[in-house]
Structure 1
Amino acid sequence: MPRSHALLWRDPALPHVESRRACHSRACYKAHSHPTFSIGAVDAGLSHFSGAGDGQERLTPGTLVLVPAHRVHACNPAPGHAWSYQMLHVDAAWLTQLRLESGLRGAGAGEPARVCREPGVYRQFCELNSLLFSGASHSEKDAALIAFLGDLDYFAQPPLPAAPALAATALSGMIARLEGQDPAQLSLELLARGAGLGRYQLIRAFRAATGFTPHAFLLNARINRGRQLLGEGQALADVACQLGFADQSHFQRVFKAHVGVTPGQYRGLPR
Structure 2
Amino acid sequence: MSTLLRCLALLALGCTLPLYAADLRIDVGPQARVWTTQQLLNLPDARSVMIQADVAFHRTMSYRAVPLRALLPGLTRGIRLKFVANDGFSVDLAADTILNQAGAQAWLAIEDPQQPWPTLPGNKGDAGPFYVVWTNPSAAQVSSEQWPYQLARIERVQDVTTRFPATAPAASVPADSLVSHGYVVFQHTCFACHTLNGEGDARMGPDLNLPHNPTEYLSTDMLRAFIRDPQSLRRWPEGRMTGFPTQASLSDADLDAVLAYLKYMAQHKVDK
TM bucket, shorter chain = under 0.3
Higher percent of residues as helix: 1
TM-score (norm 2): 0.25
What TM-score do the two structures reach when normalised by structure 1? Answer: 0.25
